[in-house]
Amino acid sequence: MVRKIKKRRNKRSHYLMAFLLTVLVLTGVVVLQQRGSFSVVRDMLVPIRQVRIEGAFANVEPTELEPIVMPLLQENYVTVDLEAIERALVNVPWVQQARVARIWPNTVQIDVTEQEAIARWGYDSLIGRYGKVFRVSRGLDGFRHLPLLMGPEGREQEVLAMLEGLNQDFAVRNTPLTALKLSGRLAWTATLSDGLQIEYGNQDPRRATLRLLSVLPGLGKERIEAIRTIDMRYPRGFAVTWKPGSEVQQPDERNSVKPTT
């Protein structure tokens, strides 16, 4: 009886082990199948059904952004990389900012902010309010009214800030800048809307402008209108050249005057 009991126990253990092994194998197959089809099921559960591109568009057409956005929407609603879409859109010349968000249950919302062109940068680009330089495919013919800025690479924001500052200073004369240049040697040159050109050199243009505006009215309206260029590269004064044919020019003058103190 004892041996029979032992044999019965061995058979039961064998059956139990076989059953457990079968369960483990079947479970492994199910797990593998689930892993292989999880992404498919996941995509079926939360697909992206709608994409909205909105903004106050003046220089960008939403249809121009679609070829950039669509390849990045291959994932589903949950896994789509919103930051990747934003990075791709800000590389578009006229796009200043892009905000991308999920709108439940299946919509991706894209809000686009366009660049506001403040000036031309060189002869083939524009510069936005926040100092971003960008080229436009259709050229600059429609932007000739904007001031022309030039400067070394990496100095864009500095030149733009100087333009805004000098425009504030010259507002008393109602002569905004039409051009501002920062040379490779960091020398400034400004041109005003009345054609007056000012050489500042390496000094602070705004400080030099305050000095100029404090003495310029003393020359009189007639002489001021006859000035072609002003050279501010003098520590306590400035030199001028007259416009050709100006009546204020004297015969013994060689189109210039000595620095005024």
Say which DSSP state 212 is in: H
Q: Would you write out the chain's pLDDT as a tens digit for each of its 261 residues?
A: 222 323 344 555 545 444 544 544 444 433 334 444 445 444 456 899 999 999 999 999 899 999 999 999 988 999 999 999 999 999 999 999 999 999 999 999 999 999 999 999 999 999 998 899 998 877 788 899 999 999 999 999 999 999 999 999 999 999 999 999 999 999 999 999 999 999 999 999 999 999 999 999 998 989 999 999 999 999 888 999 999 987 765 434 444 444 444
Those residues with Cβ within 8 angstroms of residue 106's Cβ, 6 or more apart along the chain or in another chain: 46, 47, 48, 49, 50, 77
Say which DSSP state 236 is in: S
Q: How many CB atoms sit inside 10 A of residue 181's CB?
A: 14
Q: Beta strand 133-135 with 107-114: parallel, antiparallel or unpaired?
A: unpaired
Q: Pull the structure tokens for residue 106.
A: 């299946």
Residue ranges and CATH numbers for the domains of the chain are: 50-114 (3.10.20.310), 117-242 (3.40.50.11690)
